[in-house]
């Protein structure tokens, strides 16, 4: 009927590959908007899933939905995160190889929720034996524990992950989940001592105060009211209506018992959490000589009790510093400012290392030694590209991480895909894309990259400062095409680079970084005096976190930047050996509101998530491919008659829902099969649309 809306007009296409105007960003945005307004939050680009955060419960994650997607071929049902999970799982089972699912997007876009949905999907749909139920439960319950210690309310997200997380789910040869392993990346320790207006510290502090039993709080010397603690009250939003700390405490407490935490572990763990709160409340005063003193030692006494250290030694370590002269150690008093610095450094170090201990503890409960041969599906829930009004060392690290992951995508998808067509001798029009290796090199190259320059400034004897670091940058990389400093910044139409700033032209756009704090954060210095106190602590967890051997080792530990660079390079090694699936999460608006689609915000995300490039490559290429041997195995009955779409080493099938996508395919000869497919999908093929 003329004028009537077709289904396609109303709900858009479920795979961007099918868009007529596939090169147009506006058409992309329109399609996303149409679907979002119909509560269809998932859309494919080939096998990549684009997900828009609905900010409301849509009833699409029920057990019956899970069952619907189980074992069904990828394109047979509307796009869903379960299809991605199921596809990776079935490929892993049939090809006995390892997979990973990379979930990316900006803060609040729904990455963590997505990773939880995938984990739940496996927990419900995978085969299970009674003896392995505990492994499954531990996998599921590791989440609330890690979130309690690693997530916090920020302006962008009430449950923002303040660390990167990679989790392997291990399966036996029958596809039963048997164990797991978690790696965490760069927890935002600075949050322990400081939060911006409207933000909170890590959830666990509030959960303990709100939900902890009277007796427990009394034994830790804590009051219930978070406002009484300096480390919890700076953001002025200790209580947040969307967060139920009391209930979350219950969830976390019961999770602890499933993940093998003993009474002793918990006593030590909460001793540490309480000590951090007491530390924040230590007030220093200045005496006549300009040295720091602590007039009220109430907090010192509690910390000493909880951490098992001597109060006078702790007090001395917070107000003095040991300096090594040629043959002896000299103890110098600290100024008030340096004592505050020492106190905060201690709180950050204690929390940061306890978080690492927690991850290790969870890992030891997820280990399953009974299964030596395992295949894995890794889930990577990692911080997305960040551009704030003010960007510091953290944003620099996070954006560098995104550059590296973009490199992986380029290597695995854009570059590899095109190289493959060439190798296979298939006609192909090259797709232009920006290879960001040049930016990765600018940041990480040995001796020449920004991290190396920063490290040099950190270890250089003499007065290095954030400004001298910037000057070194200007000198060494000032002429790089993707780097700009205040010297080069022209006023024409662009925001000028200010004092103490440099700008990087990332693949996703330009970001201006303020160098203030770079040296301190990269050094992450804990005075030796305090380290000694912590190494001698009787608290069992701290004993494991601060080994005496560290005191004996006079070599400088690697800086934060270098550690992060190394951990990213190991992550890439882990990923490169596995088969990828990608989920790109999009945040529809800045107000956490359902049904609000902010065009400008989303356009920006489409750009930096590289969706248009991905679409162009997918559109030009073949959507579905299998290696010969796997194809053979699957289709051996009809193999003698099939020769469709083959190249030198692989079978390529342009329309995914064809041939062996239908179970009954095995019953037909090639000619029957092709006739059937053509008859059934004729209209769709003409419209270039899936069914
Ligand atoms: P961050 O980088 O800050 O950790 P994130 O990408 O992990 O952010 P999430 O914590 O997963 O973001 O999501 C933010 C909030 O959005 C969730 O707390 C939830 O309220 C909502 N949300 C996300 N995904 C969904 C979904 N699929 N259905 C309903 N609500 C969702
Ligand atoms: Mg998250």
Q: Which residue has the higher pLDDT, 351 or 624?
A: 351
What percent of the chain is predicted at pLDDT more than 70? Answer: 87
Q: Which atom of ligand 1 is nearest to the CA of 161?
A: 4
- Give the pLDDT of residue 413: 77
Quote the pTM value: 0.88
Residue 315 C-alpha to ligand 2 middle, in angstroms? Answer: 38
Q: Which of the pair, 497 or 621, is modelled with greater confidence?
A: 497
Least confident segment among 143-157, 253-267, 347-361, 676-690: 676-690
pLDDT at residue 524 tops 80: yes
Ranked by mean pLDDT, the top range of 86-90, 371-375, 423-427 is 86-90
Q: Is the pLDDT of residue 225 over 90?
A: yes
Per-residue pLDDT for 491 more than 60?
no
**Is 108 annotated as catalytic?**
yes
235 annotated active-site: no
Say yes or no to pLDDT of 338 above 50.
Answer: yes
Residue 624's pLDDT is 55
pLDDT at residue number 614: 85
CB 653 within 8 Å of CB 681:
no
Give me the mean pLDDT over the 7-19 stretch: 84
Residue 384 designated active-site: yes
The per-residue b/e assignment along 451-490, b for 16 or more CB within 10 angstroms, e otherwise, is: bbbbbebbeeeeebebeebbebbbebbeebebbbbeeebe
Across 8-22, 89-103, 467-481, least confident range? 8-22
DSSP state of 132: G
Q: Is the pLDDT of residue 300 over 90?
A: yes
Q: Give the residue from 109, 86, 112, 111 showing the smallest Cα distance to 99.
A: 86
**pLDDT at position 366, please?**
94
Q: What pLDDT score was predicted for residue 120?
A: 96
pLDDT at 608: 83
What's the confidence (pLDDT) of residue 681? 45
**Poorest-confidence range of 38-47, 231-240, 427-436, 465-474?**
427-436
Dihedral sign from CA coordinates of 78, 80, 84, 87: negative
User: Mean pLDDT across the stretch 27-47?
Assistant: 95
Which pLDDT tens digit goes with each residue over 358-406? 999 999 999 988 877 789 999 999 888 888 888 999 999 999 999 999 8
**Buried (b) or exposed (e) across 520-529, using 16+ Cβ within 10 A?**
bbbbbbbbbb
112 an active-site residue? yes
Q: What is the pLDDT of residue 372?
A: 76
Alpha helix stretches (DSSP H) within 38-80: 63-69
Q: Is the pLDDT of residue 644 over 50?
A: no
Cα 109 to ligand 2 centre (Å): 8
Q: What b-and-e string marks burial along 570-606, b requiring 16 or more CB atoms within 10 Å of the CB?
A: ebeebbeebbbbbbbbbbbbeeeeeeebeeeebebbb
- The number of beta carbons lying within 10 Å of the beta carbon of residue 287 is 12
> CB under 6 Å to ligand 1: residues?
53-57, 105, 107-113, 156-157, 159-161, 383, 585
pLDDT over threshold 70, residue 513: yes
Active site residue 161: yes
Instruction: State the distance from the centre of ligand 2 to the C-alpha of 156, rounded, in angstroms.
Output: 11
Query: Atom 23 of ligand 1 has which residue's CA nearest to it?
Result: 110
pLDDT (tens digit per residue) in 571-597: 999 999 999 999 999 999 999 999 999
**Each residue's pLDDT tens digit, 192-221:** 999 999 999 999 999 999 999 999 999 999
Band of residue 641 on the pLDDT scale cut at 50, 70, 90: very low
Q: What is the pLDDT of residue 635?
A: 53
Active site residue 107: yes
**Atom number of ligand 1 nearest to Cα 381:** 7
Q: What is the ipTM of this complex?
A: 1.00
| Residue pair 152/199 in contact by the 8 Å Cβ criterion | yes
Q: Is pLDDT at 420 greater than 60 in this prediction?
A: yes
Spacing, Cα 48 to ligand 2 middle (Å): 20
> Of the bound ligands, which one is closest to the alpha carbon of residue 110?
1
Rounded average pLDDT over 435-464: 93
Question: CA angle, corner 164, sides to 513 and 387, nearest 5?
Answer: 25
Reply yes or no on whether the pLDDT at 238 is more than 90. no
**Residue of 226, 256, 239 whose CA lies nearest to 144:** 256
pLDDT(643) > 60: no
The ligand 1 atom at the shortest distance from the C-alpha of residue 162 is 4
Looking at 106, 210, 299, 386, which residue is catalytic?
A: 386
pLDDT score of 618: 79
Average pLDDT over residues 541-559: 89
Nearest CA to ligand 1 atom 11: 110
In this prediction, residues 611-621 reach a mean pLDDT of: 82
Rounded to the nearest angstrom, the distance between the alpha carbon of 399 and the centre of ligand 1 is: 20
Query: Cα-atom radius of gyration of the chain, to the nearest Å?
Result: 28
Nearest ligand to the CA of 53 is 1
- Average pLDDT over the chain, rounded to an integer: 87
Residue 51 Cα to ligand 1 middle (Å): 11
Region 229-246 average pLDDT: 92
**Closest Cα partner for 519 from 444, 453, 576?**
453
- Output the CA angle 338-340-344, nearest 5 degrees: 115
Structure confidence at residue 443 as a pLDDT band (50, 70, 90) = very high
Better pLDDT: 495 or 159: 159
pLDDT band at 551 (very low <50, low <70, confident <90, very high): confident
Catalytic residue among 31, 51, 107, 515: 107
Confidence of residue 649 (pLDDT cuts 50, 70, 90): very low
Q: Which of 43, 47, 53, 112 is catalytic?
A: 112
Contact yes or no for 362/182 (Cβ under 8 A): yes
Residue 648, pLDDT above cutoff 60: no
3-class secondary structure for 416-471? Answer: HHHHHHHHHCCCCCCCCCCCCHHHHHHHHCCCCCHHHHHHHHHHCCCCCCHHHHHH
509: left (phi over 0), alpha (psi -120 to 50) or beta: left
Residue-wise pLDDT for 313-324, tens only, equals 999 999 999 887
Q: Which of 103, 110, 121, 399 for mutating ligand 1's site (highest number of atoms within 8 Å of CB)?
A: 110
Task: Identify which of 414, 580, 417, 456 has the alpha carbon closest to the alpha carbon of residue 49.
Answer: 580
């Amino acid at each position: 009927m003329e004028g009537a809306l077709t289904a396609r007009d109303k709900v858009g296409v479920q795979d961007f590959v099918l868009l007529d105007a596939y090169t147009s960003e506006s058409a992309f945005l329109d399609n996303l908007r149409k679907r979002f307004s119909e509560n269809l939050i998932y859309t494919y680009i080939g096998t990549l899933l684009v997900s828009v955060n609905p900010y409301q419960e849509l009833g699409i994650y029920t057990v019956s939905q899970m069952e619907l997607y189980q074992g069904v071929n990828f394109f047979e049902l509307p796009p869903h995160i379960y299809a991605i999970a199921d596809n990776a799982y079935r490929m892993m089972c049939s090809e006995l190889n390892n997979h990973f699912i990379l979930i990316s997007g900006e803060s609040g876009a729904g990455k963590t929720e997505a990773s939880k949905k995938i984990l739940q999907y496996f927990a419900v749909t995978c085969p299970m034996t009674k003896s392995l139920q505990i492994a499954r439960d531990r996998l599921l319950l590791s989440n609330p524990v890690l979130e309690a210690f690693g997530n916090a309310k920020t302006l962008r997200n009430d449950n923002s992950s303040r660390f990167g997380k990679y989790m392997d789910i291990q399966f036996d040869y029958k596809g039963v989940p048997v164990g797991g392993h978690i790696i965490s990346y760069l927890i935002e320790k600075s949050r322990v001592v400081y939060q911006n207006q409207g933000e909170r510290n890590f959830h666990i502090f509030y959960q303990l105060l709100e939900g902890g039993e009277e007796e427990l709080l009394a034994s830790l010397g804590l009051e219930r009211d978070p406002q009484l603690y300096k480390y919890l009250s700076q953001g002025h939003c200790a209580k947040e209506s969307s967060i139920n700390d009391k209930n979350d405490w219950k969830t976390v407490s019961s999770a602890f018992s499933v993940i093998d935490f003993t009474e002793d572990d918990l006593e030590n763990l909460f001793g540490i959490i309480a000590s951090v709160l007491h530390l924040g409340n230590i007030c220093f005063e200045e005496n006549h000589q300009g040295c720091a003193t602590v007039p009220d030692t109430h907090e010192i006494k509690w910390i000493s009790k909880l951490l098992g250290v001597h109060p006078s030694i702790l007090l001395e370590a917070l107000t003095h510093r040991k300096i090594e002269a040629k043959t002896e150690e000299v103890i110098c008093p600290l100024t008030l400012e340096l004592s505050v610095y020492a106190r905060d450094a201690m709180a950050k170090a204690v929390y940061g290392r306890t978080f690492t201990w927690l991850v290790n503890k969870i890992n030891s409960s997820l280990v399953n030694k009974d299964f030596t041969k395992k295949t894995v599906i890794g889930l990577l829930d990692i911080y997305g590209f960040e551009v704030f009004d003010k960007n510091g060392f953290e944003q620099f690290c996070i954006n560098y991480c995104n550059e590296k992951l973009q490199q992986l995508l380029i290597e695995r998808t854009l570059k590899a895909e095109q190289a493959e067509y060439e190798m296979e001798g298939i006609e192909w029009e090259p797709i232009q894309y920006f290879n960001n290796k040049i930016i990765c090199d600018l940041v990480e190259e040995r001796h020449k990259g920004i991290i190396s320059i920063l490290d040099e400034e950190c270890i250089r004897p003499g007065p290095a400062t954030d400004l001298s670091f910037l000057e070194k940058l200007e000198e060494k990389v000032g002429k790089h095409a993707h780097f700009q400093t205040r010297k080069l910044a022209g006023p024409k139409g662009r925001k000028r680079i200010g004092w103490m700033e440099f700008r990087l032209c990332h693949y996703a756009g330009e970001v201006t970084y303020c160098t203030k704090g770079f040296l301190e954060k990269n050094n992450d210095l804990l005075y030796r005096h305090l380290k000694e106190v912590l190494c001698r602590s009787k608290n069992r967890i701290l004993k494991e976190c601060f080994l005496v051997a560290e005191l004996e080792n006079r070599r400088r530990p690697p800086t934060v930047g270098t550690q992060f660079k190394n951990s990213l390079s190991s992550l890439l090694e882990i990923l490169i050996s596995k088969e990828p699936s990608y989920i790109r999460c999009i945040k529809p608006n800045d107000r956490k509101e359902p049904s609000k689609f902010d065009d400008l915000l989303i356009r920006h995300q489409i750009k930096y998530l590289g969706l248009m490039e991905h679409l162009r490559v997918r559109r030009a290429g073949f959507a579905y491919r299998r290696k010969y041997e796997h194809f053979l195995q699957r289709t051996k009955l009809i193999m003698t008659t099939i020769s469709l779409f083959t190249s030198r080493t692989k079978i390529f099938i342009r329309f995914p829902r064809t041939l062996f996508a239908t179970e009954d395919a095995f019953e037909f000869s090639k000619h029957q099969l092709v006739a059937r497919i053509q008859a059934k999908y004729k209209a769709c093929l003409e419209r270039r649309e899936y069914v």
